[in-house]
């Protein structure tokens, strides 16, 4: 039965690709085009906003520097999948170096930039964790005297969280006492597995919070062209059964049906403006490296927290000498990441850690909020993780060493499938010195200046990480771990790129208003993580998709101004 | 004394090094057979590390192959201490080669039950979520911060 489901999904996929292939060929032959709205980037937020606008009758064009991914050709269908994910499928564009990628000079950051460039963007590599921000995350300055207040509240965003959940399908469980109430989830929670069950029991005994995650992975199929999650594990290398919420599966089929023109392998190098400084479209290199232009009445940038400030800084004109929408000087500044530490427990029991989504099962939000007795402000989420396959286990995947030599094999057997890990995901407080600029030397494959990332870990984050390690060590010990190891700061953790074109009421202290609309350029919107005023301590995708849907509705509501 | 020249990795040295790194036992095969060394060099080539591995091996004693196992380990430990980064990369390539070998994967399946196949398309069976596991948490009053 299961096999038939898989084959059915594969057949559906082939048909879908045929349909999309026609679009790609059309795009390759296209000349300069015109649109009501141009969306730059086909990832999490670009897909959501594009669909929302097209479904309301707008003529939408989307430019994406990557291409469609063939889910049947992903690494986890092959024996060397653990090697490929370290190379061609490495989350770092600097290691991967595919034609669609641009390099990031992240030498001045202890946390490295991670992303993917294709239709679906980084959702092709994400672990599908779809938590919501807390109401307090929108008011951290008023509540705790740190960060910036958002010009909108959780309650303003709540209907769009619900809409995004409905569009993508969430496997989860309502009733979490650490969060505001929410509607019934679309699908049952994912299995939590032996390791998480053991840690959950320990937290129950300790009186600490935990809850099954809201995930954009489907415990059972949800809508056409999706399949049941088969608990294969490595969501980070895409999903051939289409059970994961990458936007090439969730939003794009519906968006294309609504009439969007999606042009792939199109690398935008400038958002163009008129004599008044308003956006009039964008210039890009097509797949043949020919410069082309899309004219549009409104432009939405959805190129992630690094790509967006890069593009705005590239778009210099007489009206915008410091880059587009940069009257505040804040484009590129206030880069926020989620500093992450890892604590891993080694257990006698075989936890079957290869079964189920590797980086996503349950979370604890026990230490989410500020507590004045601690030496840091705001808080962290603990995201519990499973374990790796043989190759990455041997390479000390989550920090448990396996030495070479005569003890290698017995140690491997001690470790393999016998670990459970806790990722401490810290809220990052904005610092204007943490920023994205244009690199003076490094360029991408089209000769466009690459971004440079400058980031320093704050004392607040260091103290928070230390508290998290201490807390998670207690969880592991109470769960019966015979060894506990930790990684104080995970270097390859720059997934969540936020704050570099933030929202706010004051044009001198922010780049965008409460509708994600640039203060300086009213027909320009930014809908990716760049827009975040605070980082919260949860994964950002669900929130940036909700923001994108809300911004799209604002465009629709002000349609007469086009 | 360093060996005079290892233009292409000497297969005997390579086999001895692989065996010292991954000697087998506990149900696992040794990495001594030539295919492991070849696979390690092929993996190194993917990262442009071929010359690095050759250079590293050239720094082993000429008599390495004939040394007692304990002395081979000691020689490798000395090399690891002096060439930390390169040695670490070589270990990575060795593990890559070893754990993608079909015999090794079969051994893992036999010993641990972890299937010797890629994750897809079959995936893995898991017990479905049981709502009873949140019984304790459901008793807790909402504690999110009101704004």
The ipTM (two decimal places) reads: 0.94
Percent of chain B with pLDDT over 90: 91
Residue A484 belongs to a domain: no
Of B27, B28, B133, the CB nearest to A197: B133
Identify all chain B residues contacting A13, using CB atoms and an 8 Å cutoff: none
Identify all chain A residues contacting B117, using CB atoms and an 8 Å cutoff: 79
**Residue with token string 């004394």:** B1
CB contact under 8 A, B119 and A193: no
Residue A368 belongs to a domain: no
pLDDT per position as a tens digit, A25-53: 344 445 678 999 999 999 999 999 999 99
Residue A80 belongs to a domain: yes
Chain B nearest C-alpha distance from A231 (Å): 5
Chain B nearest C-alpha distance from A562 (Å): 36
CA distance A277 to A71: 42
Edge-to-edge strand list for the sheet holding A362-364 = A211-212, A362-364, A380-385, A419-426, A340-346, A483-487
Of A78, A81, A191, the CB nearest to B128: A191
- Which of A230, A235, A360 is the best residue to mutate to test the B interface, defined by the most B CB atoms within 10 Å of its own CB? A230
**Residue with token string 């015109």:** A34
Count residue pairs from A and B with Cβ separation < 8 A.
Answer: 172
**Residue with token string 């040295």:** B13
Binning pLDDT at 50, 70 and 90, where does residue A19 land? very low
The residue of chain A with its CA nearest to that of B97 is A391
Residue from A542, A518, A6 nearest A300 by CA:
A518
Give me the numbers of helices (H) and strands (E) for chain A, helices first please: 13, 16
Of B73, B140, B146, the CB nearest to A405: B73
Is the pLDDT at A18 greater than 60, yes or no? no
Identify all chain A residues contacting B93, using CB atoms and an 8 Å cutoff: none
Identify all chain B residues contacting A240, using CB atoms and an 8 Å cutoff: 120-121
**Residue with token string 């189920």:** A356
Contact (CB, 8 A) for A307 and A444: no
- Which of B95, B104, B135 is the best residue to mutate to test the A interface, defined by the most A CB atoms within 10 Å of its own CB? B95
CB contact under 8 A, B137 and A204: yes
Binning pLDDT at 50, 70 and 90, where does residue A397 land? confident
CB contact under 8 A, B100 and A79: yes
Residue A522 belongs to a domain: yes
Of B121, B126, B142, the CB nearest to A191: B126
CB contact under 8 A, A77 and B120: yes
pLDDT per position as a tens digit, A301-321: 999 999 999 999 999 999 999
pLDDT per position as a tens digit, A92-115: 999 999 999 999 999 999 999 999
Contact (CB, 8 A) for A248 and A124: yes
Q: Helix or strand or coil: residue A40?
A: strand
CB contact under 8 A, B128 and A219: yes
Of A204, A354, A408, the CB nearest to B136: A204
pLDDT confidence of residue A401: 86
Residue A425 belongs to a domain: no
CA distance A218 to A171: 6
DSSP-derived letter for residue A137 is: G
Identify all chain A residues contacting B19, using CB atoms and an 8 Å cutoff: none
Of B92, B108, B127, the CB nearest to A395: B92
Whichever domain contains A308, its CATH number is: 3.50.50.60
- Specify the number of domains making up chain A: 1
**Residue with token string 């604890």:** A364
pLDDT per position as a tens digit, A492-540: 999 999 999 999 999 999 999 999 999 999 999 999 999 999 999 999 9
pLDDT per position as a tens digit, B97-109: 999 999 999 999 9
Looking at every residue in chain A, the average pLDDT score rounds to 93
Written as one string, the DSSP assignment of A72-116 is GGSGGGSTTHHHHTTTTT-S-HHHH--TT----EEEE-SS-B---
pLDDT confidence of residue B8: 56
- Which of A86, A240, A394, A403 is the best residue to mutate to test the B interface, defined by the most B CB atoms within 10 Å of its own CB? A394
Chain B nearest C-alpha distance from A14 (Å): 16
Identify all chain B residues contacting A212, using CB atoms and an 8 Å cutoff: 129, 134
Written as one string, the DSSP assignment of chain B is -B-S--SS--HHHHHHHHHHHS--BTTBPPS-SHHHHHHHHHHHHHTT-HHHHHHHHHTSBTTGGGS-HHHHHHHHHHHHHHSHHHHHHHHHHHHHHHHTSHHHHHHHHHHH---SS-STTT----PPP-GGGGHHHHTSPP-SPP-
Written as one string, the DSSP assignment of A330-365 is -TT-S-B---EEEEEEE-SS---TTSS-TT-SEEE-
Is the pLDDT at A325 greater than 60, yes or no? yes
Binning pLDDT at 50, 70 and 90, where does residue B9 land? low
Chain A nearest C-alpha distance from B117 (Å): 6
Between helix B84-99 and helix B102-112 the angle, nearest 10°, is 70
DSSP-derived letter for residue A119 is: T
CB contact under 8 A, A230 and B122: yes
User: Which own/partner pairs from B113-116 qualify as long-range (CB within 8 Å, at least 24 positions apart)?
Assistant: B113/A350, B114/A354, B114/A389, B114/A390, B114/A416, B114/A417
Neighbours of A207 (CB within 10 A): 9
Q: Which domain holds residue A284?
A: 2-178+227-331+432-453+495-561
Degrees to nearest 5, angle at CA A27 with A22 and A31: 140
Identify all chain A residues contacting B30, using CB atoms and an 8 Å cutoff: none
Identify all chain A residues contacting B21, using CB atoms and an 8 Å cutoff: 404-405, 408
Chain A nearest C-alpha distance from B145 (Å): 6
Residue A73 belongs to a domain: yes
pLDDT per position as a tens digit, A438-497: 999 999 999 999 999 999 999 999 999 999 999 999 999 999 999 999 999 999 999 999
Binning pLDDT at 50, 70 and 90, where does residue A429 land? very high
- Within the 86-145 window of chain B, which residues sit less than 8 Å (CB to CB) from chain A? 91-92, 94-96, 98-100, 102, 104-105, 108, 111-114, 117-129, 131, 133-134, 136-138, 140-145
Residue A343 belongs to a domain: no
CA distance A129 to A496: 12
pLDDT per position as a tens digit, A275-299: 999 999 999 999 999 999 999 999 9
Residue A264 belongs to a domain: yes
- Within the 48-67 window of chain B, which residues sit less than 8 Å (CB to CB) from chain A? none
Written as one string, the DSSP assignment of A508-560 is TT-SB-TTSBBSS-TTEEE-SGGG-S--TTS-SHHHHHHHHHHHHHHHHHTGG
**Residue with token string 């990832």:** A43
Say if strands A60-63 and A33-40 run parallel, antiparallel, or are unpaired. parallel
Identify all chain B residues contacting A82, using CB atoms and an 8 Å cutoff: 99-100
Identify all chain B residues contacting A135, using CB atoms and an 8 Å cutoff: 144-147
Burial A285-308 (b: 16+ CB within 10 A, else e): bbbeeeebbbebbbbbbbbbbbbb
Contact (CB, 8 A) for A76 and B118: yes
pLDDT confidence of residue A21: 37
């Amino acid at each position: 039965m299961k096999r038939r489901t898989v084959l059915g999904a594969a057949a559906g996929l082939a048909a879908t690709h045929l349909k999309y292939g026609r679009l790609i060929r059309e795009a390759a032959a296209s000349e300069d085009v015109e649109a009501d709205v141009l969306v730059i980037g086909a990832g999490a937020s670009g897909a959501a906003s594009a669909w929302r606008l097209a479904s309301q009758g707008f003529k939408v064009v989307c430019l994406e520097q990557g291409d469609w991914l063939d889910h049947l050709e992903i690494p986890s269908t092959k024996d060397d999948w653990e090697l490929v994910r370290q190379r061609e499928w490495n989350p770092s564009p600097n290691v991967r170096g595919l034609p669609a990628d641009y390099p990031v000079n992240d030498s001045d950051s202890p946390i490295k930039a991670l992303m993917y460039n294709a239709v679906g963007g980084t959702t092709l590599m994400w672990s599908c964790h779809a938590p919501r921000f807390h109401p307090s995350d929108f008011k951290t300055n008023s509540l705790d005297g740190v960060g910036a207040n958002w010009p909108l509240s959780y309650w303003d965003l709540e209907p769009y969280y619900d809409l995004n959940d409905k569009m993508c399908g969430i496997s989860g469980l309502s009733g979490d006492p650490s969060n505001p109430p929410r509607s019934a989830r679309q699908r049952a929670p994912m299995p939590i597995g032996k390791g998480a069950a053991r840690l959950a029991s320990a937290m129950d005994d300790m009186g600490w919070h935990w809850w099954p995650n809201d995930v954009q992975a489907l415990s059972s199929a949800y809508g056409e062209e999706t399949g049941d999650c088969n608990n294969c594990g490595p969501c980070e290398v895409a999903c051939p059964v289409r059970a994961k919420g990458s936007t090439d599966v969730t939003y794009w089929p519906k968006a294309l049906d609504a009439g969007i023109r999606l042009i792939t392998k199109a690398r935008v190098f400038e958002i163009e403006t008129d004599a008044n400084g308003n956006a009039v479209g964008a210039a890009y290199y097509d797949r043949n490296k020919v410069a082309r232009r899309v004219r549009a009445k409104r432009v939405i940038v959805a190129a992630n927290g690094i790509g967006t400030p890069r593009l705005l800084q590239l778009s210099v004109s007489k009206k915008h000498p410091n880059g587009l929408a940069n009257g505040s000087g804040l484009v590129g500044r206030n880069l926020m990441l989620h500093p992450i530490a890892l604590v891993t427990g080694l257990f006698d029991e075989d936890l079957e850690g290869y079964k189920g989504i590797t980086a996503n099962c349950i979370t604890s939000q026990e230490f989410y909020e500020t507590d004045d007795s601690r030496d840091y402000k705001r808080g962290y989420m603990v995201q519990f993780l499973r374990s790796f396959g043989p190759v990455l286990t041997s390479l000390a995947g989550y920090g448990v060493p396996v030495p070479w030599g005569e003890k290698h094999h017995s140690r491997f057997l001690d470790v393999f499938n016998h670990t459970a890990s806790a990722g401490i995901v810290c809220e990052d407080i904005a610092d204007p010195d943490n920023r994205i600029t244009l690199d003076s030397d490094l360029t991408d494959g089209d000769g466009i200046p690459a971004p440079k990332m400058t980031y320093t870990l704050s004392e607040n984050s260091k103290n928070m990480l230390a508290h998290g390690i201490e807390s998670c060590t207690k969880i592991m010990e109470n769960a019966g771990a015979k060894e506990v190891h930790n990684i104080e700061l995970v270097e390859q953790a720059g997934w969540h790129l936020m704050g570099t074109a933030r929202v706010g009421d004051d044009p001198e202290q922010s780049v965008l208003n409460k509708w994600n609309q640039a203060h300086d350029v009213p027909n320009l919107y930014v809908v990716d993580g760049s827009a975040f005023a605070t980082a919260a301590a949860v994964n950002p995708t669900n929130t940036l998709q909700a923001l994108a849907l809300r911004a799209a509705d604002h465009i629709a509501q002000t349609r007469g101004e086009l | 004394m360093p060996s005079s020249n290892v233009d292409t990795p000497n297969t005997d040295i390579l086999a001895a090094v692989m065996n010292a790194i991954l000697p087998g036992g506990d149900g696992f095969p040794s990495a001594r057979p030539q295919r492991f060394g070849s696979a390690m060099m092929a993996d190194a080539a993917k990262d442009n590390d071929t010359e690095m591995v050759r250079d590293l091996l050239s720094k082993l004693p000429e008599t390495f192959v004939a040394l007692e196992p304990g002395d081979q380990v000691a020689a490798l430990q000395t090399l690891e201490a002096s060439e930390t980064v390169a040695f670490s990369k070589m270990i990575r390539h060795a593990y890559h080669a070893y754990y993608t070998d079909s015999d090794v994967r079969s051994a893992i399946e036999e010993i641990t039950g972890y299937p010797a196949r890629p994750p897809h398309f079959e995936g893995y069976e898991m017990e479905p979520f049981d709502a009873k596991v949140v019984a304790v948490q459901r008793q807790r009053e909402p504690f999110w911060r009101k704004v």
